[in-house]
């Protein structure tokens, strides 16, 4: 059974940093693209970033590019999202998800992701 768990969320002031982690089990971790999505207070969902199974291709939404960095450690079944220069607009519930069905033009389509973690809350406020 696929199991994904996020951690690392919390409360941070604008300009601060957080590192999220997504740990997976119950599947061949190194065979999957892992994506990060966020659910905003408005309930809108946004794609944030994704990393391919081979750790060669990384995708970022324009709103986070240059501030967030995605990485993975397949030996630990973990994907990380380093978030720097955080803004109040980054406040959301961040979830990770897995897929084997996305590419450069579709990495941000949540419907193509098969399994999801419950999410971790990130709040950016002064």
Residue 62's contacts (CB-CB under 8 Å, 6 or more residues apart) are none
CA distances from 100 to 7, 23, 84, 107, 111 (A): 23, 17, 28, 10, 12
Helix (H, G, I), strand (E, B) or coil at 75: helix
pLDDT tens by residue, the chain, 126 residues:
999 999 999 999 999 999 999 999 999 999 999 999 999 999 999 999 999 999 999 999 999 999 999 999 999 999 999 999 999 999 999 999 999 988 888 999 999 999 999 999 999 999
At 89-121, the pLDDT tens digits run 999 999 999 999 888 889 999 999 999 999 999
**DSSP string of 78-110, one letter each residue:** EEEEEE-S--GGG-EEEEEEEESS--TTTTT-G
Instruction: Give the residue among 37, 23, 30 at the shortest CA–CA distance from 111.
Output: 37
């Amino acid at each position: 059974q696929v199991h994904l768990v996020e951690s690392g969320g919390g409360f941070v002031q604008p300009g601060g940093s957080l590192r999220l982690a997504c740990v997976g089990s119950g599947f061949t971790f190194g065979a999957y693209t892992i994506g990060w999505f966020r659910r905003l207070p408005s309930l809108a969902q946004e794609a944030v970033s994704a990393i391919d199974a081979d750790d060669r291709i990384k995708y970022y939404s324009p709103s986070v590019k240059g501030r967030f960095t995605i990485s993975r450690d397949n030996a630990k079944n973990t994907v990380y999202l380093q978030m720097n220069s955080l803004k109040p607009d980054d406040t959301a519930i961040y979830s990770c998800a897995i897929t084997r069905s996305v590419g450069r033009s579709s990495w941000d389509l949540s419907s193509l992701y098969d399994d999801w973690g419950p999410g971790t809350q990130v709040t950016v406020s002064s």
